[in-house]
């Protein structure tokens, strides 16, 4: 039912855009408005068919471009997260030791040495968090 509703919504949007595009192409103006001048270059309500096509192209580009990019980014994040979960499930279950010795596997030191991105991310997070905390308590305001 959910899929049928989504498909119906997409079809309704496509039909609506087709109707608007047809109205712009035939009359040269937006439907439902009354222009004050007949010169399409002097009015914001009237456009030539070429201007209508360019408007539609830019609207689709501005709305669908970021939407598709964000959807692809989320799909990648979900795929990567699922891959990590499957990899973790396939490994033998061993507890993580909170030792800082990088020579022993399954210790905190080993994880931090093997993934410097984690260390850099934690340092950046701590710096930003500290700066926000100091700003909130008013450390940067002159007295």
Question: Domain residues of the chain, as ranges?
Answer: 1-93, 94-143
Model's pTM, two decimal places?
0.37
The predicted-structure confidence for 64-82, as pLDDT tens digits, reads as follows 888 889 999 999 999 999 9
- pLDDT for the residue 40: 73
pLDDT digits (tens, 9 = 90+) for 81-132: 999 889 888 887 778 788 888 888 888 888 888 888 988 999 999 999 999 9
96: which DSSP letter? P
**pLDDT reported for residue 31:** 63
Residue tagged 């909130």 (tokens): 136
If pLDDT is split at 50, 70 and 90, which confidence band does 25 have?
low
pLDDT band at 56 (very low <50, low <70, confident <90, very high): confident
Tokens of 20: 């608007």
Rounded to an integer, what distance in angstroms lies between the CA atom of residue 133 and that of residue 125? 12
Q: Which residues contact 52 (CB under 8 A, 6 or more apart)?
A: 21, 24, 25, 28
């Amino acid at each position: 039912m959910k899929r049928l509703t989504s498909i119906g919504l997409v079809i309704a949007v496509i039909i609506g855009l087709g109707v608007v595009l047809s109205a712009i192409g035939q009359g040269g103006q937006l439907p439902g408005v009354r222009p004050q001048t007949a010169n399409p270059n002097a009015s914001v309500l009237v456009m030539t068919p070429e201007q209508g096509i360019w408007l539609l192209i830019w609207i689709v580009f501005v709305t669908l471009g970021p939407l598709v990019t964000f959807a692809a980014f989320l799909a990648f994040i979900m795929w990567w997260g699922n891959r990590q979960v499957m990899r973790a499930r396939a490994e033998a279950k061993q507890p993580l030791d909170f030792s800082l010795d990088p020579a022993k596997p399954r210790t905190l030191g080993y994880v931090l040495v093997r993934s410097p991105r984690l260390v850099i991310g934690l340092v950046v997070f701590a710096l930003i968090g500290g700066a926000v905390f100091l700003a909130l308590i008013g450390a940067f305001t002159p007295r």
